[in-house]
Structure 1
Amino acid sequence: MNKYVILIAMLASFGVAFTSNAVSVALPTIAVDFNITNIMQNWLVNIYLLVIAAASVPFGKICGKYGLNKTMGIGLIGYVVGSILSGIAFNIEFMLVARIIQGIASAVLFVNSMAIITEQVPPQKRGQAIGITVTGVYLGLTLAPTVSGFLVEYVGWRSIFYITVPLILISYYLLTRIDKEWIIGGGDPIDVKGSLLYVVGILILMYGFTILHDVIGIITVVIGLVILAIFAKYELKEQYPIYDMHLFRNVKYTSSNIASLISYFATFVVTYILNYHLQYLNGFSPETTGLILIVTPLIMAIGAPIAGRLSDKINPQILAAIGMIIVSIALVILCFLDETTPLYMIFISMILQGVGFSLFSTPNNNVILGSVDKKDIATASASLSTVRTIGQSFSLGLLTLVFAYIMGNVPIIPQHYPQLILSSQVTMILSTILCIIAILLSLMGIKSGNKN
């Protein structure tokens, strides 16, 4: 049973990660086909992340109430539908709708994968199981640039959305072989009002962040924060909240969630910066770019299960802090990225980032899932998905913001390359500062008496 559960979670995680990262290499080609600007390129990824962030918290309760097995199956089928629609998109508007469908299904898969493992695998082996599942994510990230680059160059960018469909269908078949159903809070009513407040608040906040260079963006962010504050106050009084805000009284839970959000905020953008640098400034093909970008996620895939086993034996918060220190060093190197940067320096940075993030991610996930009671597992799992995708969306939003201030809303062509270089450097400086904050957060709560 445990092997089936872990394999299903790993395959689903692989498929979702592959498709999300494969798009990055294909962006320049898609931009030519659809005749879109640099900022609209970012939105092909950002809309996907935004939907996952908005949907994960409500789905944390909904999936637990109606059964993790059943809803996992719905998510797998929904993801296949979204992938096919993305592949047949004939314009940017159609593709954005398809990405929204993918995002909704991915939210279900992200939430259920961790929740099922936490339900089924005993605590003493949970870190290793989480590590294997995270390996699925990193294998997807690892293979995505190379396979995507090859497909874009020799088959066409549409094929990147079809390539993982067979694996998702295999995962669905394995799921049908499991008779067991996991119900969490089955008798609790769904907090509809709280769900709506959260979804509206997070959507407005994240959208506002992507247009923060404009006055309307600042106003939108403020409105989003106000709605989320109302949501938090409402949830504290609700008997059956969609998200139990009392969990944030747990120091380990709170600091590790914030550390996770900031770490993805700081690092997710690196792939896009390197992708633009290698294809535009160095003139590499999508295939060659994909081969280079494989370095970081490959090391993550190798390191994640090792870090998972270590986190069952060594304080995971210490491991997470060490990991973020290494990531910070990697980002410092990229703060000086320009057309004269030798390729070996980029490789060194990517290797350090891979080692550091594998040491951070799995142990940090173990802290979050291990610091709550069984009844809150679905909520904690949803939190993992939410903070990850909010961080990733903010990261891409940061690049969009810097683009807007330095480059403007323009196509990426040779006459704008100096502004592209400056945009990358400014973004990396800000990301390094965020990493230092994540280090401090990872160290918080080590001496607390909270469950782990």
Structure 2
Amino acid sequence: MSVTDQEQTAVRDTRWVLPATILGSSLGFIDGSVVNVALPAIQDDLDAGLATTQWVVNGYMLMLASLILLGGTVGDRFGQRKIFLGGLVGFAFASVACAVAPTPITLIGARVIQGIAGAFLIPASLALIGSAYTGEDRGKAIGTWAAAGAITTALGPPLGGWLVDVVNWRAIFYINVPIAAVALVMGYRIASAPGHRTYREFDFAGTLTMVAGLGLLSYGLITAGEGNTVLGVIAILAAIPFAIAFVVIEQRASEPLIPLGLFSSSQFSGANLLTITLYASLSGSLFILPFILIYAQGYSAAAAGAALLPFSILLGLGSRFAGSLAKSIGTRVMLIAGPATTGAGYLVLASLVNSGGYWIAFFPGLFIVGLGMTITVAPLTTAVFDAAPSDASGTASGINNAASRVGGLIAVAALGFAFGGSDLSALPPEALTQSYVWIMIAAAALAFISAATAASTMTSTSGKPEEVS
């Protein structure tokens, strides 16, 4: 092949990287937002209780939180393109399994497989961009990827709600198949990344311990929330030895899943604690919102999805501006103001729920929550990168991504306590609304804890620490 032919091939391959990775990663991003809108319909159609809907969300998040760091390592070992394509195929098959699931158990099992596929697909998509672009072009490509992800996430709830109303809830999973197919065709046009691959050891012991510990914690919280307190407490207590074992394994591993040395930085520890508490508040509130809109307010699924648009659009369009602002005034101010604003938004949602229609009862609160999260997300990413040594930036980002999933996992698992084990569809609107108010107050408290964490651990600027040994 001539030099000119090689250059043309490189141009062709790079041209397909962004559309392929945007479509591929959007499967993982959209699925988290779309499924929430469909949960009431899933509950009604499968005659399921609150615990089932919690597991439909948490089965997916459990695998993402536990495996996303391993997914990045596997991509480094076997090639990001190969893992990306494999993740697409796995996600598509799991989506079909979700769509045809005849029982709650089979749906939850298929969601677990979706989460496994997503844990390999998402890190591989970003790594492919990192391999295909350099310098300023890489920054622009990542910005385009992030913006497209925000837009598709914003469009997910109204599209999902419309599909639920026009077809049924199973359509939200079928729609993944053609998206995955197009991404797969594009992905085959991407050249494998040249150069030396990193042959790191796989921390299977740490990964399995993390899955078991988080799984037991989630099961315990959901079971206790249903009213089976004894079994729930036993499961929660059983998670503690796994947490201890995980720390011991990571301390002794030659190439740990989570290098514990990173947490010697108070800023890195604080950023991840902030992430857990803030995303716990967000996941809990977004889980309950479709139920209150559909069951208590009489919205259609499409209207409930559209109701979330102000939040999603604000977050999608404002994050890049927030990142630029953080460079001017520092991350600390924004990481205090952002979560505090988010908490205020939850209090507005709690106080106005009985005050009238959408534009009074929900829009102001959702707008304020969206504003607060917009102020927070980009500076939080910057703070994580600033607190980690340069050779561990990818690992630090992965840990923070996992922390957001862990926060959501715990919050959704604990929601049953707000309903006393009652089935959401069976609750009278007044009781459902009262539970919603308490959940929003709890979300506000978590957001304010996030702001306090930032105040006590963040610095406005920080140099790169020394490399982790």
* TM-score computed with the length of structure 1 as normaliser: 0.89
Equivalent of 1:263 in 260, 278, 292: 278
Residue of structure 1 in register with 2:351 after alignment? 336
The 3 A distance-change label for structure 1 pair 198 and 285 is closer
AA in 1 matched with 2:279: Y
Equivalent of 1:418 in 422, 427, 430: 430
Paired residues of 1:117 and 1:130 also in contact (CA < 8 A): yes
For 1:139-288, what aligned pairs fall within 5 Å after superposition? 139-181=151-193, 186-213=198-225, 214-288=229-303
AA in 1 matched with 2:161: G
Q: Distance in 1 between matches of 2:179 and 2:187?
A: 12
For 1:38-437, what aligned pairs fall within 5 Å after superposition? 38-117=50-129, 130-181=142-193, 186-213=198-225, 214-311=229-326, 314-345=329-360, 346-403=362-419, 405=420, 408-413=421-426, 416-437=428-449
AA in 2 matched with 1:188: R
Give the secondary structure class of the aligned counterpart of 1:144: helix
Paired residues of 1:264 and 1:391 also in contact (CA < 8 A): yes
The 3 A distance-change label for structure 1 pair 290 and 234 is closer
AA in 2 matched with 1:56: I
The number of equivalent residue pairs is 448
Q: CA offset at residue 103 of structure 1?
A: 0.7
Q: Distance in 2 between matches of 1:91 and 1:118?
A: 41
Q: CA offset at residue 293 of structure 1?
A: 2.0
Residue of structure 1 in register with 2:5 after alignment? none
- Is 1:37 the counterpart of 2:49 in the alignment? yes
Q: CA offset at residue 118 of structure 1?
A: 5.5
Q: Distance in 2 between matches of 1:424 and 1:334?
A: 9
AA in 2 matched with 1:412: S
Give the secondary structure class of the aligned counterpart of 1:189: coil
Q: Which runs of 5+ in 2 are unaligned?
A: 1-12
Q: Distance in 2 between matches of 1:11 and 1:137?
A: 9
AA in 2 matched with 1:94: T
The 3 A distance-change label for structure 1 pair 121 and 221 is farther
AA in 1 matched with 2:459: I
Paired residues of 2:387 and 2:462 also in contact (CA < 8 A): no
In the TM superposition, what whole-angstrom CA distance separates every residue of 1:25-54 from its partner, at most 9, and x where no partner exists? 222222222111233222211211122112
* TM-score computed with the length of structure 2 as normaliser: 0.86
Q: Distance in 2 between matches of 1:184 and 1:375?
A: 16
The 3 A distance-change label for structure 1 pair 21 and 175 is same
In the TM superposition, what whole-angstrom CA distance separates every residue of 1:327-357 from its partner, at most 9, and x where no partner exists? 1111111222544444223101111111221
Q: Distance in 1 between matches of 2:397 and 2:343?
A: 26
The 3 A distance-change label for structure 1 pair 135 and 215 is farther
The 3 A distance-change label for structure 1 pair 2 and 300 is farther
Paired residues of 2:294 and 2:301 also in contact (CA < 8 A): yes
Paired residues of 2:40 and 2:290 also in contact (CA < 8 A): no
Q: Distance in 2 between matches of 1:4 and 1:397?
A: 39
Q: CA offset at residue 435 of structure 1?
A: 0.4
Q: Distance in 2 between matches of 1:314 and 1:126?
A: 25
Q: Distance in 2 between matches of 1:387 and 1:409?
A: 29
The 3 A distance-change label for structure 1 pair 278 and 191 is closer
Q: Distance in 1 between matches of 2:292 and 2:434?
A: 11
Q: Which runs of 5+ in 1 are unaligned?
A: none
Q: Distance in 2 between matches of 1:184 and 1:359?
A: 39
Q: Distance in 2 between matches of 1:167 and 1:30?
A: 22
- Is 1:446 the counterpart of 2:459 in the alignment? yes
Paired residues of 2:386 and 2:463 also in contact (CA < 8 A): no
The 3 A distance-change label for structure 1 pair 270 and 133 is farther
The 3 A distance-change label for structure 1 pair 18 and 226 is same
Q: Distance in 1 between matches of 2:74 and 2:271?
A: 24
For CA contacts below 8 A with separation 6 or more, give which structure has more relative contact order: 1
Paired residues of 1:131 and 1:308 also in contact (CA < 8 A): no
Is the deviation greater in 303-312 or in 353-362?
303-312
The 3 A distance-change label for structure 1 pair 67 and 242 is same
Paired residues of 1:335 and 1:428 also in contact (CA < 8 A): yes
Is the deviation greater in 172-181 or in 350-359?
172-181
AA in 2 matched with 1:133: W
Q: Distance in 2 between matches of 1:23 and 1:380?
A: 28
Q: Distance in 1 between matches of 2:64 and 2:211?
A: 10
The 3 A distance-change label for structure 1 pair 276 and 399 is same
Paired residues of 1:10 and 1:135 also in contact (CA < 8 A): no
Paired residues of 1:252 and 1:450 also in contact (CA < 8 A): no
